[in-house]
Amino acid sequence: MKVKLGMITLILPVFLGACADMSVLEEVPAWERGSLARPEMAWEPDPMHAALRQHIYFSKEASSGAASAGGGGCGCN
């Protein structure tokens, strides 16, 4: 298969910036994780809308693939 790896570098710097945080990866004590438990910090704060959007983009664009195993296709692609 043909994977055009060259283009990845265009986007990666965004996440390298984020990863700079990880230079010292100490375990964060439980009592300091209050912010992480906030609902707006969830991977998907609105799971219903996220499912709909995923379905729309799956039907209207050529790409697919999220970190989940469920869900079916539709007669739209």
The answer to whether residue 28 forms part of the interface with another protein (CB under 8 A) is yes
Number of chain residues interacting with another protein (CB under 8 A):
59
In the complex, least distance from residue 19 CB atom to another protein, rounded to whole angstroms: 7
In the complex, least distance from residue 7 CB atom to another protein, rounded to whole angstroms: 7
Cβ pair 20, 14 in contact under 8 A: no
Instruction: Name residues whose C-beta falls within 8 Å of residue 50's C-beta, 6 or more positions apart in sequence.
Output: 44
The answer to whether residue 16 forms part of the interface with another protein (CB under 8 A) is no
In angstroms, the CA 49 to CA 29 distance is 32
In the complex, least distance from residue 74 CB atom to another protein, rounded to whole angstroms: 6
